[in-house]
Amino acid sequence: MSYEAIRVEQEGALTVVTIARSKAYNALNTVAHEELAAAFDAFEADQSQWAAIITGEGEKAFCAGHDLKQQAEGGGIVLPPSGFGGLTSRFNMIKPVIAAVNGVAMGGGFEIVLACDIVIAARNAQFALPEPRVGLAALAGGMQRLTLQIGPKQAMGMMLTGRKVSAEEGIALGFVNEVAPTGEALVVAKRWAAEILACAPLSIRATKHVALQTMNVPLDQSISSVWSDPVVKAMMESQDAIEGSAAFSERRTPRWTGK
């Protein structure tokens, strides 16, 4: 599929999605939303692809949020069913997604980041939910996810002021996994992806699925129900489960098939 507002590249089992609207600080218009939704639909359906990275073009911006120029011209906000950037309402995807934040991540751009599983931020990255400053609110999951990820007091401190947070503060608050040198967020994200791809893909999916599905479930219930979960059963009955044990006993690198 050819794209206008994004680029999609496959590197082995890794899909790299790049928002390619650097002249607009990678803000998302309707076309970009539709293309990102299509790209992540394809990633989710492709059994040869085990992990994804989303990043922005250039070194200034990951994503500045919704294209306010389009809205000012009467374009409004039309989101795909899978949410802002095709990610914020994609609740059932069990493949891991890494955000390589190469610059500012504002509003909806930050909401995309919060919807990812791992966040690598360049040193020059900045994060904010500044919607109240333009008469709006972070309605694509930002208010809920930020509160869950860093706690209510710190989240309120960001959301009620719309203030910008640096990559280093993101580490301290807990929504950033690693700070990379400026210009190297994608390089570091690929290193993290390589570590994920060294694991059995069905194990990775089961881990993400169980962690997210049981977040608000009492501990005794979540532990007792995990064995009957279809995603966990698929992992336990897979060829990879046998291969992992065999590779360990034979002291060799496992050859994962995702089956």
CA 160 to each of CA 136, 145, 146, 175: distance values in angstroms, whole numbers, following the listed order: 12, 15, 12, 18
125 and 62 in contact (C-beta within 8 Å)?
Answer: yes
Cα(first)–Cα(last) distance of the chain, in Å?
27
Q: 10-14: list long-range contacts, CB under 8 Å, 24+ apart.
A: 10/49, 11/190, 12/197, 13/48, 13/49, 13/50, 13/51, 13/197, 13/201, 14/49, 14/50, 14/51, 14/52, 14/53, 14/190, 14/193, 14/197
Catalytic-residue membership of 250: no
Distance between CA 165 and CA 153 in Å, rounded?
A: 15
Catalytic residue among 111, 169, 178, 250: 111
Q: 85 vs 25, 50, 72, 132, 228, CA distance in Å?
A: 14, 20, 19, 20, 33
Distance CA 49, CA 23 (A): 30
Given 4, 11, 131, 169, the catalytic residue: 131
**Helix ranges, 46-184 (H):** 68-72, 108-115, 142-150, 152-159, 167-173
Query: Which residue reads 């939704």 in tokens?
Result: 37
- Comparing CA positions, the residue from 162, 88, 93 lying closest to residue 130 is 162
111 has catalytic annotation: yes
Question: In terms of Cα–Cα distance, which of 1, 159, 145 is closest to 87?
Answer: 145
As annotated, the active-site residues are 111, 131
